[in-house]
Structure 1
Amino acid sequence: MAKFFYLLLILSLSVSCREATVPKPKAYLRLDYPKAEYVPSNINVPFTFEVNTLATKVALKPIESNTSSYGVNLEYPTLKGTIFLTYKAIENDRKNLITFLRDAQNFTQKHNIKADGILETVYESPENNTFGMFYEVEGNAASQAQFYVTDSTRHFLTGSLYFYAKPNYDSILPAAHYLQKDIKHIMETVRWR
């Protein structure tokens, strides 16, 4: 019996000297994007803006065989996303301005089906004659951001952010925030020609 007691004592001392096993905390992916550097856009359209050097530009295309409408795609290959810009000239009457505004707002609202929410931010820059709206789309929607800017008389520019992946809000959120800052910078630096 004494041998059993000593064996039990030695066994308990050897087990008690070990550190307690603690589960490792969950790891999160850390994504570091380079600090944005902006340069003037060199595109032959009726407006200018500053573009992030991380973006590559796709060829400028007239829309609908109309020389007063253009599409510009700013591709971000490292982020697997694209900002699609569409420019339309406002004709002599302001009737088509109302149509453009309605279309831009309806296009954003179509994302309500999948979105958890849409945050609207009014943009005004009277000194640059630029007014508009920025929409941040939350949730698993196809587009994570939309915007439009106009001078209310001659120029109308819309933009949308899309990723080359199935929408998974948690996965694309860091890239979406990075590109939303670029969209806001585009809005702030638009100058009409």
Structure 2
Amino acid sequence: MHKFLVLVLLVLLVSCGDETLPKPKGYLSLEYPELGYNRLNNSRPYRFDVAKNTAIKNLPQNWLKVRYPKLKASVDITYRPVDNNLRELLIESEKLVFEHAIKADQITAPIEYSNPDKKVYGSVYQIMGNAASQVQFHATDSSKHFLKGSLFFYTKPNYDSILPAVEYIKNDMIHMMETLEWKD
């Protein structure tokens, strides 16, 4: 009985101490490198500026993957020649945006872009919520070229956690459109 009493007292003494508190929620810690751009030099029918902190993967059919290794994301660039099919390409592009409506909380009205001097016309969409792609854009010269860009993260979407990275890359995507030039 004496050993039992000593054991109970020992347990009480050891367990009495600081209160156990729940740990605070952790936040995603990402590094956002300083902005700086390089001109994309390739044999594609288009060129634009890409952030210095990206890695470019060339794909068939004049497609590209602009990777953000530190952010675990990429902007997938698809190119299609326009051959009396501009209307279909625009409908397909918009359809791809709205396929995310099931998971999205909101899809913003498109930000329209127009640069008549360079013959670049397009739209940028932001998809808010836990969708697979959070930002998409398309650009065209209306006669020969059509380009689409889609942002993807290499993780299960958690919009609140990735929102700062979405905004960072969205600005890069807008810069891509603003510096886009067609090669003839």
TM class by smaller structure: 0.7 to 0.9
5+ long unaligned stretches in structure 1: 1-24, 63-69
- The answer to which structure, 1 or 2, has the higher relative contact order (CA under 8 A, 6+ apart) is 2
Q: How does 1:30-49 map to 2 (within 5 A)?
A: 31-49=30-48
Distance 1:163 1:30 in 2: 15
Equivalence for 2:17 = none
1:118 corresponds to 2:107: yes
**Is the contact made by 2:134 and 2:151 (CA closer than 8 Å) also made in structure 1?**
yes
Counterpart code for 2:91: R
**Is the contact made by 2:31 and 2:71 (CA closer than 8 Å) also made in structure 1?**
no
Equivalence for 2:90 = 101
Alpha-carbon offset, residue 48 of structure 1: 0.8
Distance 1:29 1:165 in 2: 12
Distance 1:31 1:60 in 2: 28
Runs of 4+ that moved beyond 3 A: 25-32
Counterpart code for 2:78: T
Equivalence for 2:14 = none
Distance 1:53 1:34 in 2: 9
Q: Helix, strand or coil: the match of 1:87?
A: strand
Summarize deviations over 1:106-159 as a string: whole Å, max 9, x none: 000111111111112111111211101100110100001000000001110001
Name which one, 1 or 2, has greater alpha-carbon Rg.
1
**Is the contact made by 2:28 and 2:161 (CA closer than 8 Å) also made in structure 1?**
no
How many percent identity over aligned positions? 43
Q: Helix, strand or coil: the match of 1:127?
A: coil
Alpha-carbon offset, residue 59 of structure 1: 2.4
**Is the contact made by 2:67 and 2:74 (CA closer than 8 Å) also made in structure 1?**
yes
Alpha-carbon offset, residue 46 of structure 1: 0.5
RMSD after superposition:
1.7
1:60 corresponds to 2:59: yes
